[in-house]
C-alpha cells in the first residue's frame, strides 16, 4: 500500500531490564503484510491512522496526524504484566496522502478485517475521528452475515453531522462517521446500533439531537456519565450489549475534560473523567464481545507535558491487561 508505513522498533524506548518488564521489550514491530494466524491465547495488534484531513474539513485544529507516534512513545515506557504467551505487535501506520481521507479509511477497513481474520485484536491509534468509519467497516466485513455490531463511543459529540452539502456534494469529515454508518445500514438493511457515552449539550446543536432521535441512538449525557452513577451506567451498557453480537469501541479523547486531555482538536473543561471510562470499559470487556478498539483525536501540537498522549497510552495499557485472561 502506498499509504502504508512500517513501524520501526526505535520508536519504543524505556527502561531496559532484559526481562520484558516494560512494553517496549515485549512489543514486536512487523509489517502488516507479514501478519499470519496465531494459535496464541491472545494477540494484540497496534495500527496507526495518521490522518487529520477529516478534522480540517470539519474546521478543527489540525495536528492529529502525529497522534499515533505520540501514543507509541509513551506506551513503550509502561510496565508489562502480560503473560509470556500473549503476543503484542505493532503492524505499522496508514497515512493520508494528498488529502485523500477516503482512501485511508478504505485501507483501514481492509487492514482491520485482515487482522481479525488472523485472530489479532486490532487497536487503532489516531488520528481524526473519521477513523471510525474505517474501523466499523473493517469489523463489518469480518462478521458473518446477519450478525449485529454495537458501536460504543466515548465522546462529547454524536459525530452525526449530515455529510450532504447544500450544493448536493458529499463531504465526509471527522464529524460525519456515524451518520455515514447509519446511512449505509439503511441502504443494506443492517441494524444501526449506537451508544454514545458523555454527550454534552454545549457540544452538539439541536439538529444533531434530532438526528440522534431519528436514528434511535442511545446516549448518556455528561451530567449522568459520572463515576458515582457507575451502577446505572453499567446497567445501560449491559442492556445495549445484550442485544448485539459484536462490539466496536471508539474513544474520542476530546470527550475527556481538558484537565486530563488538553491535546485535542476541540478541548473543553466540561468533559468526563478517566475513572468512569475505565469502569465502563471493564463492563464492556466482561461481555466477551469486544472486537475492535480505536482511540481518536490526539493532537500533540496542543498537548501539555504529553498529558493526553500518556492518557491514551494508559487506556491502551488498561485494555491489554484487562483482556489478558
Among 64, 59, 48, which residue's Cα sits nearest to residue 298?
Answer: 64
The answer, yes or no, to whether the previous bond of 92 is cis (omega within 30 of 0) is no
Q: Pull the grid cell for residue 119.
A: 485472530
Residue 123 · residue 220 · CB < 8 Å: no
What is the torsion angle, in degrees rounded to the nearest 10, for the CA atoms of residue 71, residue 118, residue 100 and residue 63?
Answer: 0
Please check if 155 is assigned to a binding site.
Answer: yes
Please check if 230 is assigned to a binding site.
Answer: no
- Contacts of residue 252, Cβ cutoff 8 Å, sequence gap at least 6: 129, 153, 154, 155, 156, 157, 159, 296, 297
Distance separating alpha carbons of residues 135 and 158, to the nearest angstrom: 17
Please check if 254 is assigned to a binding site.
Answer: yes
Distance separating alpha carbons of residues 49 and 95, to the nearest angstrom: 6
Please check if 252 is assigned to a binding site.
Answer: yes
Residue 52 · residue 63 · CB < 8 Å: yes
Residue 173 · residue 99 · CB < 8 Å: no
Chain CA centroid to CA 37, Å: 23
Among 111, 114, 217, 76, which residue's Cα sits nearest to residue 159?
Answer: 217
Please check if 129 is assigned to a binding site.
Answer: yes
Please check if 159 is assigned to a binding site.
Answer: yes
Residue 271 · residue 261 · CB < 8 Å: yes
Beta bridge partners, 220, equal 197
The single residue listed with the C-alpha cell 493526553 is: 308
- The binding site comprises 129, 155, 157, 159, 252, 254
Instruction: Cite the annotated binding site for Mn(2+) by residue number.
Output: 129, 155, 157, 159, 252, 254
Amino acid at each position: 500500500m502506498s499509504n502504508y508505513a512500517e513501524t520501526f522498533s526505535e520508536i519504543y524506548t524505556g527502561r531496559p531490564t532484559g526481562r520484558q518488564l516494560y512494553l517496549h521489550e515485549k512489543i514486536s514491530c512487523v509489517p502488516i503484510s507479514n501478519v499470519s494466524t496465531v494459535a496464541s491465547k491472545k494477540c494484540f495488534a497496534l495500527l496507526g491512522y495518521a490522518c487529520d484531513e477529516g478534522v480540517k474539513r470539519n474546521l478543527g485544529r489540525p495536528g492529529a496526524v502525529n497522534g499515533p507516534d505520540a501514543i507509541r512513545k509513551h506506551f513503550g515506557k509502561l510496565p508489562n504484566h502480560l503473560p509470556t504467551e500473549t503476543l503484542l505487535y505493532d503492524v505499522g501506520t496508514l497515512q493520508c496522502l494528498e488529502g485523500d481521507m477516503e482512501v485511508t479509511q478504505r485501507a483501514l477497513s481492509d487492514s482491520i478485517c485482515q487482522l481479525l481474520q488472523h485472530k489479532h485484536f486490532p487497536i487503532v491509534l489516531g488520528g481524526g475521528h473519521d477513523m471510525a468509519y474505517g474501523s466499523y467497516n473493517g469489523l463489518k466485513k469480518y462478521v458473518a452475515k446477519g450478525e449485529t455490531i454495537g458501536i460504543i463511543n466515548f465522546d462529547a459529540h454524536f459525530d452525526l453531522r449530515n455529510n450532504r452539502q447544500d450544493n448536493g456534494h458529499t463531504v465526509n469529515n471527522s464529524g460525519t462517521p456515524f451518520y455515514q454508518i447509519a446511512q449505509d445500514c439503511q441502504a443494506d438493511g443492517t441494524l444501526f446500533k449506537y451508544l454514545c457515552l458523555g454527550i454534552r449539550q454545549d457540544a452538539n446543536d439541536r439538529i444533531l439531537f434530532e438526528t440522534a432521535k431519528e436514528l434511535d441512538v442511545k446516549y448518556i449525557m455528561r451530567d449522568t456519565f459520572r463515576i458515582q452513577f457507575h451502577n446505572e451506567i453499567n446497567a445501560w451498557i449491559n442492556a445495549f450489549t445484550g442485544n448485539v453480537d459484536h462490539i466496536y469501541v471508539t474513544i474520542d479523547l476530546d470527550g475527556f475534560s481538558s484537565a486530563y486531555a488538553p491535546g485535542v482538536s476541540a478541548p473543553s473543561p466540561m468533559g468526563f473523567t478517566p475513572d468512569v471510562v475505565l469502569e465502563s470499559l471493564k463492563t464492556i470487556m466482561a461481555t466477551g464481545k469486544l472486537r475492535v478498539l480505536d482511540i481518536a483525536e490526539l493532537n500533540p501540537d496542543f498537548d501539555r507535558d504529553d498529558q493526553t498522549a500518556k492518557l491514551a497510552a494508559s487506556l491502551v495499557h488498561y485494555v491489554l491487561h484487562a483482556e489478558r485472561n
